[in-house]
Amino acid sequence: MTQDGNADGPAEPIVGIGQQLREARLAVGVSVRELARRVDVSASFISQLELGKTMPSVGTLYSIASELGVSLDTLMRTAQPGAAEQSEPEPVAAAAGDAPVAGRRASQVSPFQTAPVPRNFGARAVDDCPVQRADGRQELHIGDAIWGRLTADHDRANDFLHVVYKPGGESCPPHHMIHHRGFEYGYIITGQLHVQVGFAHYDMNPGDSISFDSATPHRLSNPFEQESASIWLVVGRGETPVL
């Protein structure tokens, strides 16, 4: 089973994350079939994901986390190699006030990666710095996609992200476009990015920008030869701190 449930090759199992997703799903009383319907994947894919036998794309994981009210900071802690031997997994929090989670840099974690300790947005101590330094950015690495959080703390309702897609990278497979709550805005910094929103296709160049309703099925991909970097803002996503 490959990314997002394709059956044309093996995928690296997710260590620990499937169990926490299952616990979160049961906690909110959502069935496998209903969760699959909401994020437009098969029920068998959700089952395989919960068993740790397949790996979702970065976009699909984003959609699942949003639907279940789960922070990816929490999930990524148990997705790291050896996490099960280090400590018992903590219960998944269903609200924005999750406990801080420590992470490691990209060179230490695969296929998922988180970096410094996150804090609750709006609960910053007086002497805390509001600046997010580039070398300490909280990041999520899946496949050829890298999503980095640009806020120093969690924002309960919005995501402000630095997004990189290497050549061949994508937010989700072509047949499994994602959708979620909110409205998003994108600005291309370097390289090119292909954006599909519904049935419309756009090749974006440096300096181009786009905005659309996140409830519309959409997909980001880089079919070009150069790495793509862009800034994305998702407004009104809900109460789930994703990064």
Mind listing the pLDDT tens digit for each residue in 17-63? 788 888 889 998 999 999 999 888 899 999 998 888 887 888 888 78
Mean pLDDT of the chain: 74
Residue with the larger pLDDT of the pair 206 and 16: 206
Of 191 and 105, which is predicted with more confidence? 191
CA distance 198 to 218: 6
Full set of structural domains in the chain with CATH: 3-235 (2.60.120.10)
Main-chain phi, psi angles of 72, to 5 degrees: -65, -25
Residue in 117, 111, 49, 116 with CA at minimum distance from that of residue 81: 111
pLDDT tens-digit series, residues 149-189: 898 887 777 889 999 999 999 999 898 888 888 899 999 99
User: Mean pLDDT, to the nearest integer, of 221-238?
Assistant: 92
Looking at mean pLDDT, say which of 70-84, 130-144, 194-208 comes out highest: 194-208
Please check whether residue 96 is in contact with residue 122, taking contact to mean a CB–CB distance below 8 angstroms. no
- Among 7-21, 81-95, 133-147, 222-236, top mean pLDDT goes to 222-236
- The predicted pLDDT at position 72 comes to 57
Tokens of 182: 């909110």
Count the alpha carbons within 13 Å of 109 in the hemisphere toward its beta carbon.
Answer: 23
**Digit-coded pLDDT (tens) for 84-137:** 443 333 333 332 222 223 333 333 333 333 333 333 434 444 457 899 899 888
Buried-state track 45-72, b at ≥16 Cβ within 10 A, e below 16: bbbbbbebebbbbbbbbbbbbbbbbbbb
Task: Give every CB contact of residue 99 below 8 A, 6+ residues apart in sequence.
Answer: 90, 93
Residue type, 177: M
What does the pLDDT read at residue 148?
87
| Across 2-6, 35-39, 212-216, 223-227, least confident range | 2-6
- pLDDT score, position 4: 56
| Cut 0.75: pTM above it | no
What was the pLDDT predicted at 143? 81
